[in-house]
Amino acid sequence: MTVWFVILVPLVIMFFALFMERVESRLRHVAVQENEVEEFLEQAQPNEVKALYGHGIGRALELFRLRRLGGRAAKLRTRRARD
Residue 9 banded pLDDT, cuts 50, 70, 90 = very high
With beta carbons less than 8 A apart as the criterion, state whether 64 and 40 touch.
yes
**pLDDT, tens only, 23-62:** 888 877 666 777 877 887 788 888 888 888 888 877 888 8
Domain that holds residue 48: 2-81
pLDDT-derived band at 20 (thresholds 50, 70, 90) equals very high
> Based on the structure, what is the number of domains in the chain?
1
d(CA 39, CA 33): 10
